[in-house]
Chain A
Amino acid sequence: MKTNKPFPDKANYVIIGGGISGVSVAWHLAKKGAKDIVVLESEYLSYGATGRCGAGIRQQWSTKANVLLAKKSIEFFENAQDLLDYDDDIEFKQEGYLIVGTDEEEDRAFKENVKLQQSLGVPAEFLTPKEAKEIVPHLNLDGVTSATYCKTDGHLNPFKMTDAFYKAAKKLGVSFFTHTKVNDITVKNGKIESVQTTKGTIEADVVINAAGGFAQDIGEMAGVEIPVKSQNREILVTEPIEKIQGPMVISFSRNIYCQQTPHGAFIMGRGDDRDFSQSMHSTHQFLEAMAKTATRLLPPIGQLRVIRQWAGLYNFSPDSQPIISGSQDVEGFYMACGFSGHGFMLAPMTGQIISEMVLGEPSSVDTESLSLARFEKGAAKTMEQNVV
C-alpha cells in the first residue's frame, strides 16, 4: 500500500495487525472521534487469517457470548455497505448455514444449541434429515441424523470487508502503515510507553494487539502472557460455476465446511488435528481428506475442479472463545485475539467492544466471559463446541 504520510514518532493509539479486527477497531475508534490512530501491518492488509478464512458468517454457536457477538455483528454487516459508504461491494449473502449432525449425541447437542440461540433472538431451527435435504437438495443423507439451520447466516467477502473498514477509517484520518513489522514494545512502570518497528519508534499510551495468529508474540513483547496457540488450517477453492448451493454446509463430526460464494466458486475446509505452530503451508494430506469428505457429503461437487489451496492460522484460546480484553498488568495494553477460527465474523463487535474499553465508555455487552482474567481465575467454564 502506497502512503504519502511520514512515519509518526507519536500516536494516541497504535493498533497492531491489519486484518479485520485491526481495521474494525481503527474505524470504531475514529468514528467515536478518537484522533491520532495508527495501524501497523507486517505485510499487507488481510495478509493473515482474515484473507485466508472461509468467509462464513454464522450465529449458530454453543455459548451465549459467541451467539450474542455473532448476532450483533450480523446486524452491523447488514448495514455495513451504507455505514462505511463503501464504493465497492462487500458481497454479503444471507442464505443460511446448514449444520449437519451424524449421531445421537450431536442431535441432543443441536437441540440444546437451538434452544439457546432462539432464546437470544437468533432464528435457528432444528431439522430432520428430510427437511435438510429440502434446503440443500444435493446433500447425501447417508449417515445424517439431524440438522440445524439459520437463514440469516451466510457469506461475506473478507478482502472487501477489510477494504471497506480501511477506506472508511482512512477517511476519518486513521494512518495505515503496511510492510511495517513490530519488533518490540516498551513498558515502563506498568504502562505502555512505545512501539519499536522496522520503520521507527512510535511513542504511545495505548496499544491494541490484533495480530491474529501472532498475538501471543505481541503479548510477549509487552510482558503479557496470553494463553493462545496457533494452528495451521487448510482450505481450497474450485472453479466458479452457476449457482447450485445457497447455504454454507458444515458438519463438526464429519469435519467439513463448504460454501458456494456469490462469485460461483466453492470454498471448503476442515481442521485436522495437528501440532500447534505458525506454519501457513499447504499439504496433500489435507487435499486428500477434503476430497473424500466433500464428495461423500455433497456428491455432485466431486465434478468441480480444484484450482487453488492455501492455509492460515486459527488462534485458539483455552475455551475457544475470543479474548477481547485489557490487561491487569500493563496499563494501555488491549487485545483482540484467540478467536479460534471465527475472528472475521465477529469483527464488528470486536471493534465496538475494544473502542468502548479504550475510551472508558460503558460496555454494550458483558465482557467478563471475554476477559483475559477469566483464565487466571480458572473461571472459564463454558467451552465453545461448534468449531470445525
Chain B
Amino acid sequence: MKAEDVIICRCSDVSLKDLYTLFEQGYDSFEELKRIKRVGMGPCQANTCGKMVQWEIAKYFNRSLEDVKFANMRPFTLGVKLDAIKEACDDEDE
C-alpha cells in the first residue's frame, strides 16, 4: 500500500506520506507534528492515531518506542457540549 493511501489521523486527514514529508524536514516529535499538521488534535484527541504516530516516529528515526514521547494529553477525554457544562453549573448553583 502506498504511503499516501495510509491514513494515520482520521480526524485531521493526515496520511503516512504527510508524516514522512515532515520527518524529512526534521520534525521528529509528536508535539511538533501536532502543531504543523493537527495530527491528534481532532475530536478523538489522539485516541485513534496516537500510538501509530509514536510508532512511525520510532521507526523512521530508529529510536526505541519508549524514547518517543507521546503527545501531551489534555482534558477532555470525550467531547462535552458547552450547554451541558453550563447546565451542570446551574444545577450546582441552585
Taking A1-B26, A306-B85, A308-B74 as contacts, is the C-beta distance between A160 and B36 under 8 angstroms? yes
A290-B80 Cα distance, complex, nearest whole Å: 13
A282-B75 Cα distance, complex, nearest whole Å: 8
Q: Which residue of B lies closest to A296 (CB)?
A: B86
Tell me if A239 and B79 are in contact (CB < 8 A). Answer: yes
Q: Which residue of A lies closest to B86 (CB)?
A: A291
Q: Inside 8 A of A307's CB, which chain B residues have their CB? A: 42-43, 45, 76, 79
Whether B89 sits at the interface, judged by CB under 8 Å, is yes
Q: Inside 8 A of A292's CB, which chain B residues have their CB? A: 86, 89
Whether A252 sits at the interface, judged by CB under 8 Å, is no
Q: Inside 8 A of B79's CB, which chain A residues have their CB? A: 238-239, 305-307
Once A and B bind, how many residue pairs between them come within 8 Å at the CB atom?
86
Which among A1, A51, A282, A310 is the interface contact of B27 at CB below 8 angstroms? A1
Tell me if B74 and A291 are in contact (CB < 8 A). Answer: no
Tell me if A282 and B32 are in contact (CB < 8 A). Answer: no
How many residues belonging to A are interface residues under a CB distance threshold of 8 Å?
A: 35
Tell me if A303 and B26 are in contact (CB < 8 A). Answer: no
Tell me, rounded to whole Å, the shortest Cβ–Cβ distance linking B15 to chain A: 15
Interface members, chain B 1-41 (any A CB < 8 Å): 26-29, 31-32, 35-36, 38, 41
A240-B26 Cα distance, complex, nearest whole Å: 29
Chain B interface size range: 20 to 34
A292-B45 Cα distance, complex, nearest whole Å: 24
Tell me, rounded to whole Å, the shortest Cβ–Cβ distance linking A41 to chain B: 11
A304-B82 Cα distance, complex, nearest whole Å: 6
Q: Inside 8 A of B85's CB, which chain A residues have their CB? A: 287-288, 291, 306
Whether A386 sits at the interface, judged by CB under 8 Å, is no
Taking A160-B36, A292-B86 as contacts, is the C-beta distance between A1 and B28 under 8 angstroms? yes
Taking A2-B26, A2-B28, A44-B32 as contacts, is the C-beta distance between A304 and B81 under 8 angstroms? yes
A302-B38 Cα distance, complex, nearest whole Å: 24
Whether A375 sits at the interface, judged by CB under 8 Å, is no
Tell me if B35 and A308 are in contact (CB < 8 A). Answer: no
Tell me, rounded to whole Å, the shortest Cβ–Cβ distance linking B79 to chain A: 3
Whether B83 sits at the interface, judged by CB under 8 Å, is yes
Tell me if A303 and B81 are in contact (CB < 8 A). Answer: yes
Whether A47 sits at the interface, judged by CB under 8 Å, is yes
A292-B84 Cα distance, complex, nearest whole Å: 10
Taking A239-B43, A304-B82 as contacts, is the C-beta distance between A291 and B31 under 8 angstroms? no
A43-B80 Cα distance, complex, nearest whole Å: 31
Tell me if B74 and A309 are in contact (CB < 8 A). Answer: yes
Which among B35, B38, B80 is the interface contact of A306 at CB below 8 angstroms? B80
Interface members, chain B 58-90 (any A CB < 8 Å): 61, 74-76, 79-83, 85-86, 89
A307-B32 Cα distance, complex, nearest whole Å: 20
Tell me, rounded to whole Å, the shortest Cβ–Cβ distance linking A236 to chain B: 9
Question: Which 9 pairs from chain A and chain B are nearest by CB?
Answer: A305-B79, A302-B83, A291-B85, A159-B35, A2-B26, A291-B86, A2-B28, A302-B82, A288-B89
Interface residues of B, Cβ cutoff 8 Å to A:
26-29, 31-32, 35-36, 38, 41-43, 45, 61, 74-76, 79-83, 85-86, 89
